[in-house]
Amino acid sequence: MRNISLCLAILLVAGCAVATLPHASPGQSPDRIPLLGVRGGRWGRTAPTPPPAPEVVETPSPAQPRSLASPYANLRALAILSAAAGSWAVLRAPNVREWFDDVRPLHPKYFPLARHQVLILLAWLTNKIAVRIPGRSDGKSWKDAMSSPVRFFTPSAYAFAIWAPIFLGEFLLTFYQLASSRLAPALQPYLARLAPPLAQAFAAQSLWCVAFRPWVGRMQFVPSALLAMTAVGLSRVHTVLREAVAAGAMRPWDYLIVHLPLSLHFGWITCATLVNLNGWFAVAPTLRTGDKLGLALASINVAVTLGSQVTLASGDPVIALVVAWALYAVAHDLAPSRSLLRKNKLVDDDALDCLEISARVSAFLQAGLAGAVMVWKVLLKAGVVVPGDAKRLMAVAMGPVKTLLG
């Protein structure tokens, strides 16, 4: 969880730092910046301008219409962030977590539900209501509202189909846990432990549904911060789930109903946080095209790092598969951006090739990591290998690397 918070915070600070850079001089295009070349072997050189063609300057993003901007946008943003921080502080308090650890029903005869069961039900209902309220700036309306031609880290529309198993699984989970005392008694203590962080994640995502709207304007750091809080809450949920798996408290149907949808949600929200951050970078008025490209490459590295670390540390291949799904969708979405940027001569083709190749290769590497973890689990179950073999194999693999670096 600390690693996830640290990586997202580093990327957020990097975007803020680059956004404070001054504009280019009047005689210099802000987008004829040092470009990254792959085929030509360039790094940090200015791409040559064809002699007959005049220098083309990127058209700045049009200002947000004042009719869409709320005069109280700053107060709204402050209230939403305060509510998210308050729910975070309350649900992370040790006394609150201990209070929800009690799995006894509130009243054996008239109200046979435990506290954590009521909390999960209410948090899920709140999230579903918030999601159903129309007017958010996601999907096509998000691109139309912000109308920025330079987007390097946006997944294709098909990638959002992952919400179908997430919503269906969490629907089943919510009502399955209401009868967990009879259906999954061994899992009930773990459900009580994950209830507060899950409620915090649902609260942050519900507030994101309120904040991710046209009134927020260029304050896109607000929904980005809310998604980051959602990801951190789900990372705590994922930790409890892996402890339940290690303790043998999760049967196959428990895994399908409880573990799988929450793991999908955790992986996808982590990637969605990076997408939201890049959406903020895309509308930043002081960011040049090259800055946005560099932050997109950094986002790919952060996604791969988080996916690999969580997968290897927890042994859950679902996280790596979700990251692979997201990165491949990002690479697929570069086609329309490529044609527009090539037409306006804003970015060298080599730079776009580098970004697309990085996203595709990273997606295949994450899928390969997930496959390797699944094969390793099969070998462990068959008795072909023992748990200690993983560390020995890692030591053997890292031997040449240490020798080279030493």
In whole angstroms, what is the distance from residue 199 CA to residue 230 CA? 10
Q: What angle do CA 380, 382, 383 make, to 5 degrees?
A: 65
Number of H helices, E strands in the chain: 15, 2
Contact criterion met (CB below 8 Å) for 289 and 33: yes
* Residue 367, pLDDT score: 97
* Residue 218, pLDDT score: 81
Instruction: List the structure tokens of 294.
Output: 């560099």
36, β-bridge pairs: 43
* Residue 345, pLDDT score: 66
* Residue 216, pLDDT score: 87
Residues 6+ apart with CB under 8 A from 241: 190, 194, 250, 258, 259, 262, 263
Highest mean pLDDT among 22-36, 101-115, 256-270, 325-339: 256-270
User: C-alpha 7: how far from its chain's center?
Assistant: 11
Average pLDDT (230-243) is 97
Share of the chain above pLDDT 90, in %: 53
Please tell me the least confidently modeled range out of 37-51, 72-86, 133-147, 335-349: 37-51
Q: Per residue in 382-395, pLDDT tens?
A: 888 777 766 777 77
Greater pLDDT, 174 or 287: 174
**Confidence band of 24 (pLDDT split at 50, 70, 90):** very low
pLDDT at 66 > cutoff 70? no
Greater pLDDT, 112 or 385: 112
Please tell me the least confidently modeled range out of 11-15, 79-83, 299-303, 377-381: 11-15
Q: Where are the alpha helices (DSSP H) in 93-187?
A: 94-100, 115-132, 139-146, 163-176, 180-183
Please tell me the least confidently modeled range out of 269-278, 298-307, 335-344: 335-344
Please tell me the least confidently modeled range out of 36-50, 81-95, 333-347: 36-50
Greater pLDDT, 181 or 13: 181
Instruction: List the structure tokens of 90.
Output: 């309350």
Contact criterion met (CB below 8 Å) for 44 and 51: no
* Residue 108, pLDDT score: 81
pLDDT at 200 > cutoff 80? yes
Mean pLDDT of the chain, nearest integer: 82
Average pLDDT (330-341) is 78
pLDDT at 38 > cutoff 90? no
In whole angstroms, what is the distance from residue 303 CA to residue 329 CA? 13
**By C-alpha distance, which of 238, 128, 229 is closest to 175?**
128
Average pLDDT (299-324) is 96
* Residue 273, pLDDT score: 96
Q: Per residue in 120-172, pLDDT tens?
A: 999 999 999 999 998 887 744 444 444 555 678 989 989 999 999 999 999 99
Report if pTM > 0.95. no
Give the residue carrying structure tokens 């920025």: 148
Greater pLDDT, 400 or 55: 400
pLDDT at 15 > cutoff 90? no
